[in-house]
């Protein structure tokens, strides 16, 4: 069974709360009135990955003098990064030490940039608190953490399990929960504001030509030359970086079964009256009867020091409660009413929310929307050169976990592009990067990995079988 291709991003979409304070400079932005006929490097996609690639190209002397054009189907940062849960939370025990260390490094890189440039994006350093709502998922987490303690004891010091009812209540978790993990090194933020800050800076510095509302309908290749076709004309480049995540197979059909679009749902909820800010960012596994491979996720906006400081509870997930299909879906114009109703009511059951909650059946929504994730068939992002396509590069397939990966995955592609352009064999460049912890080995695109991944059940089969995949975080 092969998945159908993704469709291109729809021209309109549900209204993400994160777009309620748009970057006026970037709305409808075309750095040049006409689409250039050619460029040295074209980046497709203006989310966290594409923007990071543009930023690291601008910061790298090896790219001096190169013309860089970014094509975006919608407005800037109007895809998954502009629709996600606002988490930047590394998973420390889910996928092994190499990936945990990479994600920690990624979060540090994001935080450092925000601090250095004083980016007004509501960054808050928090602990990650993941709740386990069945004995089975708690036992699985304890097993994984025990394995981490034996393989990477220093890393394991950053993780602990809490089961004590009073301690759960201290973290505002309903004590009916079987237990929770606490991890260090997480953050919450307004992702759209970070990405658009970087894009505006790059455009104003003359480092980037950004063309919004310019969807790529097809790429045709001749040797090392690639032509990207759009409704506004064509542009040719020797290097193309696809930062298209869930939409990748709309351009690369042979990735249709490897990176599959999945619709996720989010909400911005008004907190109870007389509430106060929650101490952590949260994930809820198998909450309220959902399957064990469905996560909900929560952060809270500040109550002070920012525009519109309402302490909105940014809560997403609820896929297990929805009735509409979500796997293989590229359409984010639709909200699932059952998922939306679940999101409005669930926090009153899984959390001990501060404030006046007595008699409150559901929280009022300031916004409800959907976004398209890219689920990877083998549960790892795909980063590197597209096999058989010299000069065509890809970073995507984050399985709903792009914020703690996309920044350094974007940088990794840049390092591969510039390393190979300087005359170093790509396999040598990648081996050095893996050794330095600049990219996990399991993320690299190889022909062997494509073959091996296709031996796995499809993304849809894995989802139906309860294989754990993450949410829009």
Query: How does DSSP assign 42-78, residue by residue?
Result: EEE--SHHHHHHHHHHHH-GGGTT--EEEE-SSSTT-
DSSP string for 97-126: HHHHHHHHHHHHHHHHHHHHHT--S--EEE
The answer to whether the CB of 308 falls within 8 A of the CB of 396 is no
Both tokens of 432, joined, read: 């050095």
Burial 91-128 (b: 16+ CB within 10 A, else e): bbbbbbbbbbbbbbbbbeebbebbeeeebebbbbebbb
Confidence of residue 465 (pLDDT cuts 50, 70, 90): confident
| Span 424-452, pLDDT tens digits | 999 999 999 999 999 999 999 999 999 99
Co-location of 27 and 129 in the same domain: no
Co-location of 416 and 353 in the same domain: no
Structure confidence at residue 270 (pLDDT):
98
Co-location of 362 and 308 in the same domain: yes
Percent of the chain with pLDDT over 70: 98
CA 40 to chain centre: 27
- Residue 394 above 50 pLDDT? yes
Co-location of 360 and 271 in the same domain: yes
Structure confidence at residue 148 (pLDDT):
94
Q: Across the chain, what does the average pLDDT equal?
A: 96
Co-location of 139 and 208 in the same domain: no
The answer to whether the CB of 394 falls within 8 A of the CB of 383 is yes
- The last residue of a domain, from among 370, 391, 410: 370
> Is residue 152 included in any domain, yes or no?
yes
CA 232 to chain centre: 28
Interval 22-28 mean pLDDT: 98
What does DSSP assign to residue 443? G
Co-location of 302 and 170 in the same domain: yes
DSSP string for 259-278: EEEEEEEEEEEPPPBT----
The answer to whether the CB of 261 falls within 8 A of the CB of 310 is no
- Residue 473 above 90 pLDDT? no
> Is residue 252 included in any domain, yes or no?
yes
Co-location of 276 and 387 in the same domain: no
| Span 42-96, pLDDT tens digits | 999 999 999 999 999 999 999 999 999 999 999 999 999 999 999 999 999 988 8
Confidence of residue 294 (pLDDT cuts 50, 70, 90): confident
Structure confidence at residue 95 (pLDDT):
87
Long-range contacts of 468-471 (CB under 8 A, 24+ apart): 468/292, 468/293, 469/293, 469/375, 469/379, 469/399, 469/400, 470/91, 470/295, 470/399, 470/400, 470/401, 471/85, 471/264, 471/283, 471/294, 471/295, 471/296, 471/297, 471/316, 471/317, 471/319, 471/373, 471/400
Confidence of residue 467 (pLDDT cuts 50, 70, 90): low
Co-location of 277 and 159 in the same domain: yes
The CATH number assigned to the domain holding 205 equals 3.50.50.60
Confidence of residue 471 (pLDDT cuts 50, 70, 90): very low
- Residue 468 above 80 pLDDT? no
What does DSSP assign to residue 280? E
Interval 390-412 mean pLDDT: 97
Length in residues, the chain: 473
> Sheet containing 209-211: which strands, arranged edge to edge?
209-211, 68-71, 41-44, 239-242, 392-396, 382-385
What is the sign of the dihedral through the CA atoms of 403, 404, 409 and 414? positive
Both tokens of 395, joined, read: 């970073």
| Cα-based distances in Å from 205 to 69, 200, 314 | 14, 8, 33
How many other C-beta atoms can be found within 10 angstroms of the C-beta atom of residue 223?
8
Co-location of 298 and 421 in the same domain: no
The answer to whether the CB of 276 falls within 8 A of the CB of 77 is no
> Is residue 147 included in any domain, yes or no?
yes
Euclidean distance between CA atoms 245 and 47, whole angstroms: 9
- How many separate domains does the chain show? 2
Co-location of 297 and 353 in the same domain: yes
Co-location of 290 and 172 in the same domain: yes
**Degrees to nearest 5, angle at CA 263 with 411 and 22:** 65
Both tokens of 39, joined, read: 């460029």
| Span 315-363, pLDDT tens digits | 999 999 999 999 999 999 999 999 999 999 999 999 999 999 999 999 9
- Residue 466 above 70 pLDDT? no
- Residue 222 above 60 pLDDT? yes
CA 354 to chain centre: 29
Structure confidence at residue 223 (pLDDT):
86
Structure confidence at residue 64 (pLDDT):
96
> Is residue 277 included in any domain, yes or no?
yes
Euclidean distance between CA atoms 263 and 340, whole angstroms: 13
- The last residue of a domain, from among 335, 370, 405: 370
First-to-final CA distance of the chain: 28
Sequence-ordered alpha helix ranges (H) in 205-265: 248-251
Structural domain boundaries, residue 151: 125-187+267-370
| Span 145-171, pLDDT tens digits | 999 999 999 999 999 999 999 999 999
Confidence of residue 117 (pLDDT cuts 50, 70, 90): very high
| Pairing mode, strands 68-71 and 209-211 | parallel
CA 208 to chain centre: 23
Structure confidence at residue 1 (pLDDT):
45
Structure confidence at residue 210 (pLDDT):
99
Structure confidence at residue 458 (pLDDT):
94
| Span 228-281, pLDDT tens digits | 999 999 999 999 999 999 999 999 999 999 999 999 999 999 999 999 999 999
The tokens 């796995």 sit on which residue? 456
- Residue 464 above 70 pLDDT? yes
| Pairing mode, strands 225-230 and 218-222 | antiparallel
Co-location of 247 and 332 in the same domain: no
Confidence of residue 293 (pLDDT cuts 50, 70, 90): confident
Structure confidence at residue 470 (pLDDT):
47
């Amino acid at each position: 069974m092969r998945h159908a291709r993704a469709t291109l991003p729809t021209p309109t979409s549900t209204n993400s709360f994160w777009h309620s304070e748009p970057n006026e400079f970037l709305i409808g932005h075309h750095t040049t009135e006409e689409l250039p006929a050619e460029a040295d490097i074209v980046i497709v996609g203006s989310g966290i990955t594409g923007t990071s690639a543009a930023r690291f190209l601008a910061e790298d002397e090896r790219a001096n003098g190169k013309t860089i054009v970014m094509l975006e189907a919608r407005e800037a940062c109007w895809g998954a990064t502009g629709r996600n849960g606002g988490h930047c939370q590394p998973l420390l025990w889910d996928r092994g030490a190499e990936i945990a260390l990479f994600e920690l490094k990624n979060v540090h890189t994001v935080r450092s940039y925000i601090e250095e440039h004083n980016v007004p994006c509501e960054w808050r350093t928090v602990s990650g608190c993941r709740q386990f709502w069945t004995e089975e998922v708690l036992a699985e987490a304890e097993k994984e953490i025990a394995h981490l303690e034996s393989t990477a004891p220093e890393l394991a010091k950053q993780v602990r399990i809490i089961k004590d009812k009073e301690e759960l209540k201290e973290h505002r978790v309903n004590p009916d929960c079987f237990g929770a993990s606490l991890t260090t090194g997480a953050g919450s933020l307004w992702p759209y504001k970070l990405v658009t800050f970087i894009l505006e800076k790059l455009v104003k510095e003359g480092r980037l030509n950004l063309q919004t509302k310019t969807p790529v309908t097809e790429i045709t290749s001749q040797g090392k030359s690639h032509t990207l076709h759009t409704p506004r004309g064509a542009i040719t480049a020797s290097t193309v970086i696809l930062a298209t995540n869930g939409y990748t197979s709309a351009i690369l059909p042979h990735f249709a079964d490897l990176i599959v679009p999945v619709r996720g749902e989010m909400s911005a909820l008004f907190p109870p009256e007389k509430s106060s800010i929650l101490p952590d960012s949260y994930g809820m596994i198998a909450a309220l009867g959902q399957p064990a491979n469905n996560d909900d996720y929560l952060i809270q906006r500040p109550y002070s020091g920012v525009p519109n400081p309402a302490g909105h509870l940014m809560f997403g997930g609820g896929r297990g409660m929805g009735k509409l299909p979500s796997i293989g879906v590229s359409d984010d114009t639709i909200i699932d009413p059952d998922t939306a109703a679940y999101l409005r009511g669930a926090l009153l059951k899984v959390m001990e929310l501060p404030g006046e909650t007595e008699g409150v059946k559901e929280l009022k929504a300031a916004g409800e929307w959907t976004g398209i994730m890219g689920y990877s068939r083998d549960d790892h992002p795909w980063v590197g050169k597209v096999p058989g396509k010299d000069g065509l590069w890809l970073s995507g397939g984050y399985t709903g976990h792009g914020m703690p990966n996309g920044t350094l995955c974007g940088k990794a592609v840049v390092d591969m592009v510039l390393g190979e352009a300087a005359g170093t064999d790509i396999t040598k460049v990648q081996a050095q990067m893996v050794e330095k912890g600049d990219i996990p080995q399991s993320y690299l695109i190889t022909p062997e990995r494509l073959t091996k991944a296709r031996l796995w059940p499809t993304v849809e089969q894995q989802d139906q079988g309860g294989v754990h995949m993450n949410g829009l975080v």
